Amino acid sequence: MNKMLLVTLLLLAVIALLLLTPLPASTPIAKTAEYTSTKVLISQGEFQGKPATVVEYDWGDWRDWLNLARSLVGLGSNPNSIAMLNGSSFTNGVIEADLASTIPEGSGGMARGFIGIAFRVAPDLNSYEAIYLRPANGRIDDPERRTRALQYISHPDFHFDVSRKTNPGVYETGADIGLGEWIKLRIEVDGAVAKVYVNGQPLLTVNDLKLGATRGGGVALWVNPGSKAYFANLVITPK
- Residue 58 confidence (pLDDT): 85
11 pLDDT band (50/70/90 cuts)? low
109 pLDDT band (50/70/90 cuts)? confident
- Residue 74 confidence (pLDDT): 54
Residue 208 DSSP class = -
CATH of domain 32-238: 2.60.120.560
Provide the whole-model pTM.
Answer: 0.86
Q: Per-residue pLDDT for 220 more than 70?
A: yes
pLDDT tens digit sequence for 92-105: 999 999 999 999 88
Q: Per-residue pLDDT for 222 more than 70?
A: yes
- Residue 111 confidence (pLDDT): 85
Q: Where are the domains of the chain?
A: 32-238
d(CA 151, CA 172): 4
Arithmetic mean of pLDDT over the chain:
88
- Residue 19 confidence (pLDDT): 47
Compute the half-sphere exposure of residue 164: CA atoms within 13 Å on the CB side of its CA: 11
pLDDT tens digit sequence for 138-147: 999 999 999 9
- 173 beta partners: 150
Task: Quote the Cα angle for 97-186-103, to 5°.
Answer: 55
- Residue 18 confidence (pLDDT): 46
- Residue 105 confidence (pLDDT): 86
- Residue 106 confidence (pLDDT): 76
Percentage of the chain lying above the pLDDT 70 cut: 81
Strand order in the sheet with 128-133: 30-31, 35-38, 82-85, 218-223, 115-121, 128-133, 150-155, 172-173
- Residue 226 confidence (pLDDT): 82
12 pLDDT band (50/70/90 cuts)? low
